A = this chain, B = another copy of it.
Amino acid sequence: MDKRPIGVFDSGVGGVTVLKEIQKLIPNENYIYIGDTASFPYGSKSQKTIIKLCKKRIEDLINNNVKLIVIACGTATSQALEEMQKIFNIPIIGIIEPTVKYLKDNNIRKIGIIATAGTIRSKGWEKKIKQNIKESDVQSKACPLLAPMAEEGWINNDIAKLAVHEYVKDIKNIEALILGCTHYPLFIDSIKKEVGKNVDIINTGKMVAKEVKDYININNLQNDKRNKGITKIFLTDIECNFINVAKKLMQIEDISIKKLNN
């Protein structure tokens, strides 16, 4: 039995979509979530900057005695996961590998990816897909404004719908569309309308949740099954729209948030 919390971090509120999926699968675990809101958005930053920021946030989580870390951010996974796994001696799970495993297991080859500019530029998804899935056909599109829109709560208005249309319209003839940024499940209704019901829209949070559960079970890191999990949320900048969006997302009213030094 291991009471230590699972650490989850993102540049902002996007990672809450991942946290929520993990909590659904293993609600008895304790969680620490860090939203690096002082440095939001990661999506437009260079790899060097993102590596520096990830290092800081992982150190914060380790200082909070976590047993496992989830990088709940597409940009940070694609640009910094490998480096972080080299530096730190703690299990770190990103959003790419669990998703590629799902695609492979389901024999999906025609794949669309939408993500931040940094993620698309890094080709992190393409590389992992090509390594694992033969004859894959990948179309990718950077959507730099979707995460900021989500962060401000513009999710279902005409502007968000139009932005989704603008970004997704040229992706054709795919079996699955990966939401390569953890903010994007917030736009899932608009995205579904845009790509049609035959496309498997992949919420990476669901894939990560399964991976985390498996890892914990295989390595005997489970918390007491009778435990009612506690979630602590820290932000590097608290003067932002995080609480409002997170409340909607998590469908809870009593979110308590603490300031973390940047």
Contact = CB atoms under 8 A, between A and B. Distances in A.
A262 B44 contact: no
Interface in A166-182: 166
Given A39-B39, A145-B145, A159-B166, A46 B152 contact: no
Interface in A149-175: 149, 151-152, 154, 157-159, 162-163, 166
A238 interface: yes
Nearest to A240: B44
A38 interface: yes
A45 B49 contact: no
B44 A151 contact: yes
A239 interface: yes
Contacts of A262: 49
Given A38-B49, A45-B38, A121-B239, A158 B162 contact: yes
B145 A152 contact: yes
Contacts of A159: 145, 159, 162-163, 166
Interface in A16-49: 37-41, 44-47, 49
Nearest to A37: B44
A124 interface: no
A62 to B, nearest CB: 23
A16 to B, nearest CB: 17
Contacts of A166: 157, 159
Contacts of A158: 162
Contacts of A46: 38, 237-239
A229 interface: no
Contacts of A238: 46
A246 to B, nearest CB: 15
A98 interface: no
A158 B239 CA distance: 30
A144 B242 CA distance: 14
Nearest to A44: B240
A177 to B, nearest CB: 20
A37 B46 CA distance: 10
Interface of A: 37-41, 44-47, 49, 118, 121, 144-145, 148-149, 151-152, 154, 157-159, 162-163, 166, 237-241, 262
